[in-house]
Amino acid sequence: MLTNQKMNSYLKELADICHINKDITMHVARHTFAASVTLGNGVPIETISKLLRHNSLRTTPIYAKILDEKIAKDMDASEKKLH
pTM of the model: 0.64
State residue 9's pLDDT score: 96
Q: Does residue 22 contact residue 44 with C-beta atoms inside 8 Å?
A: no
Under the banding of pLDDT at 50, 70 and 90, the label for residue 69 is: confident
Alpha helices in the chain (DSSP H): 4-17, 26-32, 45-51, 60-63, 68-82
pLDDT digits (tens, 9 = 90+) for 8-67: 999 999 999 999 999 999 988 888 888 888 887 889 989 999 999 999 988 888 877 777
Please say if the pLDDT value at position 70 is more than 80. Answer: no
Radius of gyration of the chain (CA): 16
* Backbone phi, psi, residue 47, to 5°: -65, -40
